[in-house]
Amino acid sequence: DAGVTQSPTHLIKTRGQHVTLRCSPISGHKSVSWYQQVLGQGPQFIFQYYEKEERGRGNFPDRFSARQFPNYSSELNVNALLLGDSALYLCASSLAAGVEQPQHFGDGTRLSIL
């Protein structure tokens, strides 16, 4: 079975631009979460979506937004890119929202801001 798939794998943008990252969850999983991982650090939580509703938001500015579609895939949008947004963006899926649900990660999108 396919795992979590993310696209694109790599992306180079310049400051001030906008970016859209995409994620397809494991088949049957209805919850998608987004994380940012800076080099040498653990992933930091950005958003969780379940059944197309935002269930949680981390400590990120309003430049970050996301949505989930009826097929449970998801997009993460980042506006007005800053140099500090350079990171690996990870998507994780789980069967449902809830603390007991293990989250499974994709290989991420590596975003570089010039």
Distance CA 32, CA 50 (A): 7
Q: Are strands 53-57 and 44-50 parallel, antiparallel or unpaired?
A: antiparallel
Inter-residue contact 52 to 69 (CB < 8 Å): yes
Nearer CB in complex with another protein: 48/81: 48
SS3 62: coil
Query: Following CA atoms 32, 107, 87, 17 in sequence, which dihedral angle do they give, to the nearest 10 degrees?
Result: -70
As measured in angstroms, the least distance from the Cβ of 21 to another protein is: 13
Nearer CB in complex with another protein: 26/80: 26
Nearer CB in complex with another protein: 38/82: 38
Q: Is the peptide bond before 70 cis (omega within 30 degrees of 0)?
A: no
Tell me which residues touch another protein (CB under 8 A).
4, 33, 35, 40-45, 48, 55-56, 58, 90, 92, 97-100, 102-108, 110
Nearer CB in complex with another protein: 30/104: 104
As measured in angstroms, the least distance from the Cβ of 55 to another protein is: 5
As measured in angstroms, the least distance from the Cβ of 4 to another protein is: 8
As measured in angstroms, the least distance from the Cβ of 50 to another protein is: 8
